[in-house]
Structure 1
Amino acid sequence: MRLLPGDGPCRRRDSRSQPMTAQAPIPAGWSWPGDDVRQFGHRTVDIIADYLSDLPRRAVFQPYPAEHARALATEPVPTRGAPVDAVLKDFVERVAPYPFGNGHPRFYAWVNSPPHPLGVFAEALAAGMNPSVAGGNHAAVHIEHQVVRWFADLAGLGDESMGLLTSGGSMATLTALTVARHRAARRADIDVRADGLQGHARRFLLYLGAEGHGSARKAAELLGIGSANIRTIASDDHHRMRPDALRDQIVRDRANGDIPVAVMASAGTVNTGAVDPLDAIADVCAEHRVWLHVDGSYGAPAVLLLDEHRATKTALARVDSLAMDPHKWLYAPVDAGLVLIRDRHLARDTFSLVPPYLRTDGDPDGVNGPVWFSEYGFDQTRPFRALKVWLLLKHLGTTGYRDLIAHDIATADRLASGVRAAPDLQLLANGLSVVCFRCRPVDWAGDDQALDELNREVLSAIQLGGRAFLAGTTVNGVFALRACVVNPGSSAADADAVLAETRAMLSRLAGSPNHDDTSGA
């Protein structure tokens, strides 16, 4: 392959002997002829295709080699450019062989799906255009506006709703709670945009289920509310927020003169897959005029698309805001979060700040365009996140997504059934595509602390063994192994293999018999 533009050492220019003029050439390394772009692009596509097709045959996970880590930690900033061949070779040798693991069909940790191949190439298309999607009358703005409208329609939030793509569920939740804080402050005659929360005797409070996501605590801290002002609401036996406990807490807080800002419910908790009783929670919020935010970062696609969650989907139409992550259960590449706000005018009132250099003609058919997303969130420069979501929705449709999500749940159910059938395993929770369980040898005589330690050892052995990957968590006060299936490429055979690997590690570490005959039950 011949050198592409910019290959080879970059020569230093003597500015005294080569002054810049109107006719100065484009600097070396900037302009690539079309044929060179195609040649490099084809090689990159080959690398991506090989990587994706080889994943099932690789170790699920392997730690990054210490020698590579040391080299990266000590390598100085480049001063002279390297040929693109060398740069690409560096990627192939030092990056591609050591992935996070989430593309592998037996990677069941956390909620990290593999990217759909169309999404991978959508990222390249978006990067090639490289627009800032703050606003204006260009294609990327219209695409994001359509994606937001599609999801608002699915959730039943109505024509007055608004939303935008974010980096993920954490930023989506922060955006929604900022609007909720603005509304609560305005009702209390506080100009929170000008004055913040300085010097106000009344406390602003948030309400979070015991299984709620940690991003809510970060949001409380960033918003000046403080994590100490989060009320943790008790869960029922199925790890769902209890509406009666929520109502009682809000009543007590109002009696004390505090300001309830928002309730943060879940449509699929990350820990156990629990879906809160959203309709009953919406009743409490309506009764006490408290903002209802639903974290659907993981579970919202299942709630919106699967028939068995029709009642919960109906309840979503009552929320004030909804967060979800297309980069989780819609298989879009990271990053792609989404926030929907019922009241578009309130959202704009919360964030809008238009400096003189961004003012346009105001004509939706002229330069201005249909919407300025920068007036509905924190970011000014915004990437073209919507393209991958748009292309995937157009390609798969809601029917295609329904089939993929149902397959994931069926695979998780296969794993849960195997856990139930195994005499040395104990099922602790099973919601959506999450399965939480622990190892418990048949004749275990130790205490709970020792059993927790044994399970931690089993988990570490699984993660470093390369044949499966689970996460650890706590359920009902005990340490648990946690599986979450968000990979349509994972099969019943993979679920059986994960179960067999778990029991093999348990047998090795605890000496309990390995019942291979029931591992696939």
Structure 2
Amino acid sequence: MDEQAKTQGGEGDNMLEPADWHAFRGQMHDLLDRCLDRMERAEDHPWQAPPDGLQEAYAIGQGGDLVARLADEVMPYHSGNTHPQFWGWVQGSGLPSDLMAGLVGAAMNANVGGRHHGANAMEAAVIDWTRRRMGMGDAASGVLVTGTSQATVLCLQAARMRALPDLRAKGATAPMAVYAVDGVHNATRKAVELLGLGHEALRLIPTCDGVLDVQALRAAIDKDRAKGILPLAIVATAGSVDLGQFDDLNALADLAQTQGIWLHVDGAFGAWTRLAGDPWHSLTDGIGRADSIALDFHKWMYVGYDVGLALIADEADHRAAFAIRPPYLQGSKDGLSGGDRWFCDFGIDLSRGNRALKVWCALEMFGEEAFAAAITRNCEQAALLGALVEAQGMALVAPIVSNICVFTARPDLSEQDQSSLNRQIATTL
């Protein structure tokens, strides 16, 4: 074993500490410089195909110079989204502030399931900031999660609890239906399946002018009621994954209110148009009227993976779906086991990292105005791309609504040949 490797593991009672903290400090400074170099020169590091045998290179037990291995065997084989010309999918680039949050978060190693410590207050502050930006009232509640997929499950479970108060004791006692636009993100289907409804309970409603047809939705609800099926929730889409379309949230809120149905908004990336300038800000008008919203910070808020949010309009609905306190989780008036908000009462995770730290660092380092400007600029860039596409003899496939521009390179070809060519272009880009 080389000398540097010897500093990476202690001996005797201290086997899980560095053998030489001074040497380890030097290694960490070296690693930090390498990470900063990679971030500062992100344009020099596009995606590259991982080499054959990489899994063998990662085989456990090889030891060696860990800093060099991280720099040479790990960091080069990223997924591409950190590069400024990465155009694939709706994936954020991450931020320099993530590096600060990662260092502090690792040093603190907070479990944000509950108890009385600073990470809980930080998560509450991030949730409250988001609640206000989304236009929800003071009674709203939230919990940070891995992403919109998990948030959707939590929100629809809260919807089920409101519809069936005995659900946690007796299980579902009535057939239910969930309504969403045809083409809704796969997260909704997964949530419906995970909650035991079965994906046949997901009613896919056709579009009208690119968004969910409210009249068709009303007819589907009436049809289910006539069959004795309980309409559980309407899932509105704020920024569809394929075209960037936005359902009419006010119209859906009006219908949900008159029908007594839970309104959930899939705002994975599109919810953040609440920070954008005109005309994009108005795309999410009415979002604050929803019973729940699922959104991601690691998409259009650019922070590193992973951090999403389940936001629910009524804390009582939220807590009723998840809170349980066995003896080993009983709080107290004073000390570490005190505190009046335990996030394990609002989701399925008891062991939770401090996801709020990345969001808090980003907002404190750059300011809300910087994110508002970046989101607005992305929409302007999509519009510019559309103009360039048409000027070059290519063709738009759909109107540009927000930050997604869908086009075909050779509209004169057959659909099959267009698809083949477009796939080749996308792969090359």
Could you tell me the TM-score, scaled by structure 2's length? Answer: 0.93
- Shift in Å at residue 89 of structure 1? 1.8
Q: Are the counterparts in 2 of residues 6 and 29 from structure 1 also a CA contact under 8 Å? A: no
Amino acid at match of 2:77: Y
Residue of structure 1 in register with 2:171 after alignment: 196
Change (3 A) 1:177 1:155: same
Q: How does 1:140-159 map to 2 (within 5 A)?
A: 140-159=119-138
Residue of structure 1 in register with 2:50 after alignment: 64
1:349-393 deviation digits (Å, cap 9, x = unpaired): 110111101112146x87421301100100001100001111212
Residue of structure 1 in register with 2:197 after alignment: 225
Secondary structure at the aligned position of 1:453 is classed as helix
Which of 416, 434, 452 matches 2:386?
416
Given the alignment of the two structures, is residue 100 of structure 1 paired with residue 79 of structure 2, yes or no? yes
- Shift in Å at residue 248 of structure 1? 1.5
Aligned counterparts of 2:375 and 2:356: Cα–Cα separation in 1: 21
Residue of structure 2 in register with 1:389 after alignment: 359
Identity among equivalent pairs (%): 32
Amino acid at match of 1:454: L
Amino acid at match of 2:319: R
Q: Are the counterparts in 1 of residues 101 and 358 from structure 2 also a CA contact under 8 Å? A: yes
Which of 1, 15, 31 matches 1:28?
15
Give unpaired runs (5+ residues) of structure 2: none
1:385-423 deviation digits (Å, cap 9, x = unpaired): 001111212233321211111122222222111112121
Amino acid at match of 1:224: G
Amino acid at match of 2:97: L
Secondary structure at the aligned position of 1:328 is classed as coil
Q: How does 1:332-411 map to 2 (within 5 A)?
A: 332-362=303-333, 367-411=337-381
Change (3 A) 1:93 1:311: closer
- Shift in Å at residue 88 of structure 1? 2.1
- Shift in Å at residue 142 of structure 1? 0.5
Q: How does 1:247-258 map to 2 (within 5 A)?
A: 247-258=218-229
Secondary structure at the aligned position of 2:17 is classed as coil
Aligned counterparts of 2:381 and 2:21: Cα–Cα separation in 1: 45
- Shift in Å at residue 38 of structure 1? 3.1
Secondary structure at the aligned position of 2:212 is classed as coil
Q: Are the counterparts in 2 of residues 428 and 438 from structure 1 also a CA contact under 8 Å? A: no
Give unpaired runs (5+ residues) of structure 1: 12-24, 463-467, 469-521
Residue of structure 1 in register with 2:287 after alignment: 316
Aligned counterparts of 1:419 and 1:347: Cα–Cα separation in 2: 46
Q: Are the counterparts in 2 of residues 351 and 377 from structure 1 also a CA contact under 8 Å? A: yes
Residue of structure 1 in register with 2:102 after alignment: 123
Change (3 A) 1:309 1:417: closer
Residue of structure 2 in register with 1:234 after alignment: 206
Residue of structure 2 in register with 1:437 after alignment: 407
Residue of structure 1 in register with 2:419 after alignment: 452
Amino acid at match of 1:234: P
Aligned counterparts of 2:130 and 2:423: Cα–Cα separation in 1: 40
Change (3 A) 1:449 1:314: closer
Given the alignment of the two structures, is residue 212 of structure 1 paired with residue 184 of structure 2, yes or no? yes
Q: Are the counterparts in 1 of residues 5 and 63 from structure 2 also a CA contact under 8 Å? A: no
Given the alignment of the two structures, is residue 136 of structure 1 paired with residue 108 of structure 2, yes or no? no
Secondary structure at the aligned position of 2:54 is classed as helix
- Shift in Å at residue 2 of structure 1? 6.2
Residue of structure 2 in register with 1:21 after alignment: none
Q: Are the counterparts in 1 of residues 409 and 422 from structure 2 also a CA contact under 8 Å? A: yes
Aligned counterparts of 2:301 and 2:277: Cα–Cα separation in 1: 13
1:189-228 deviation digits (Å, cap 9, x = unpaired): xx2212223xx4x421111112311000110111001111
Residue of structure 2 in register with 1:53 after alignment: 40
- Shift in Å at residue 290 of structure 1? 0.5
Amino acid at match of 2:340: P
Aligned counterparts of 2:240 and 2:102: Cα–Cα separation in 1: 28
Aligned counterparts of 1:167 and 1:224: Cα–Cα separation in 2: 21
Aligned counterparts of 1:456 and 1:311: Cα–Cα separation in 2: 33
Aligned counterparts of 1:353 and 1:270: Cα–Cα separation in 2: 35
Tell me whether 314-323 or 49-58 shows the greater mean CA deviation: 49-58
Residue of structure 2 in register with 1:284 after alignment: 255
Secondary structure at the aligned position of 2:13 is classed as coil
Residue of structure 2 in register with 1:503 after alignment: none
Tell me whether 426-435 or 368-377 shows the greater mean CA deviation: 426-435
Which of the pair has more CA radius of gyration?
1
Aligned counterparts of 1:157 and 1:424: Cα–Cα separation in 2: 42
Change (3 A) 1:7 1:390: closer
Q: Are the counterparts in 1 of residues 181 and 205 from structure 2 also a CA contact under 8 Å? A: yes
Amino acid at match of 1:351: F
Residue of structure 2 in register with 1:473 after alignment: none
CA RMSD of aligned residues (A): 2.2
Amino acid at match of 2:384: R
1:64-107 deviation digits (Å, cap 9, x = unpaired): 111324544xx3x42xx724xx2222222222112110011111
Amino acid at match of 2:321: T
Secondary structure at the aligned position of 1:329 is classed as coil
Q: Are the counterparts in 2 of residues 426 and 440 from structure 1 also a CA contact under 8 Å? A: no
Aligned counterparts of 1:169 and 1:32: Cα–Cα separation in 2: 42
Change (3 A) 1:426 1:274: closer
